[in-house]
Structure 1
Amino acid sequence: MSIKLIIDSTADISETSKKKIDYIVPLTVNFGSEEFIDGVNISNYDFYKKLQISEHFPTTSQAGPDKFLKIFNQIDKNDSAIVITLAANLSGTYQSAVLAAQDYDNIHIINSESVALGSAILIEYAIELIDQGLDLEEIIDELEEKKKKIRILGIFDTLEYLQRGGRLSKAAAFAGEILKIKPIISIITGEITVPAKARGNKKAISIFNKELSENCDINYDLPFSFGYTGLSDENLVNYFESSKDLWTESYDHISIGSVVGTHAGPGAIAIAYFKN
């Protein structure tokens, strides 16, 4: 008997980790009447190119139960599967997986209570636990416990896309752009908050690092991940260069996908980690 790992396409996992995933359930990205299958016929790079030039603000559609059923039917009855989805309060994808799994005793659904990089580090931890040979119940219990300690912290480079998505008024976005306001974004158990705002990149990085060093208590023994939005990782590379008192090296980093990228816009940087 083996344990299969199933995720949805919103998790920003590395190419190395992808090789250890058995199935990826794609969500749909829409630009007006144009529909794309996330990670199949639109890459992160192409998504950000369209985000900058399209007159239509993108939307993402949850994965329906049928997409999960198609995969569940391929799982051998002698095997088990763990399904990790993005936060239930951010998408109906988790509920779709639950509905699809109701007739399968060997399928176990986990609401990551996170998204993008946050879901990714929970998935990477699941891979580690499976590789260690833990039994199914031990893995599920450990993931359910550790997911409560995931935090995402990021800096948005622009307020334009929050305004385009209806999450910020046009007047507030305009004022923020004039004043070069950079919001610090935090995501814990699927809840998005803005713990601080800063004027300019230098101040934003200072506040960001203060949040990390004073309040966050990073567990370096568990997976953590850096990411960026847009066509270039320049802002993240610059962040590492200006933060050598906190990070002695420039860590591997990945492109953040459409779920966060839609509202962050290009130029954002983020880290996802487990708190001690």
Structure 2
Amino acid sequence: MNSPKFSITLKPVKTMNKTNKNIRKKPAGWMMALLLVLFSVSGAMAQGSNEAQTTVLIAVTVVGIVAVIVLLVSIYTLQVLNVILRTEEERKAKEAGVEPKPAKSLWQRFLKVVNRRVDIEEEDTILLDHNYDGIRELDNHLPPWWTYLFYLTIAFGVVYMILYHVTGTLPLPEEEYQIEMAEAQATAEARKAESPVEEFNEADLKLTDDPAILESGAKIYAQQCAVCHKADGGGSIGPNLTDDYWLHGGDIKSV
């Protein structure tokens, strides 16, 4: 008597591959939104002037980056758990011979809450009474990109108000102008100290034919004046220096 023979066909299980594939299909809009908020905060804080402010801003930026990383890891972990649970529900439904219902991901549910989006199957709930030659109107909300941009401006405004008006961490435009003017004045004084300019009395000026002085003047003219007045003094952007027409006189003292 021959014993019955059984054959077993093994099929590879692709649960994790499916899980990874589903995760890769997730939209990255939330990552872009978080990065935009972080960049707006960094851009607002990048105007600090002194060393103490710079240290505080660096610390705040580092804390913000760490918080964003933790948030991203948490969201990714929730996505993985959601995909695993959905895969398990589909497996149980197939074993029971029931058609599995397409479950919405955490991201899809989040978008629906944030945008108050209505599915196509439920559009009758937002259908208005207007009827224009058979054309009906839906009471839809603003598109997601507009709402995200609006939320981003609110976040930027809050950060700006805290840094500039509440804590005073960064200077206001008028104060920043005064700081820049003081820095420019200090730079000018330092440059003047390094290259002192000889003081002279305009009343004592007179024409000279000293070759050394004329050569020095020609070099100065070529470096600083010829760009606007041309090499021959005929004028381009600047006025003509070779004619007899002068706004304030052409003698040496007037010049």
Please say whether Structure 1 and Structure 2 have the same fold, judged by a TM-score greater than 0.5: no
- Quick check: which one's helix share is greater? 2
Q: TM-score when scaled to structure 2?
A: 0.22
Q: Larger % of strand: which? A: 1
Q: TM-score, normalised by structure 1?
A: 0.21
Structure possessing the higher relative contact order (Cα contacts under 8 Å, 6 or more residues apart): 1
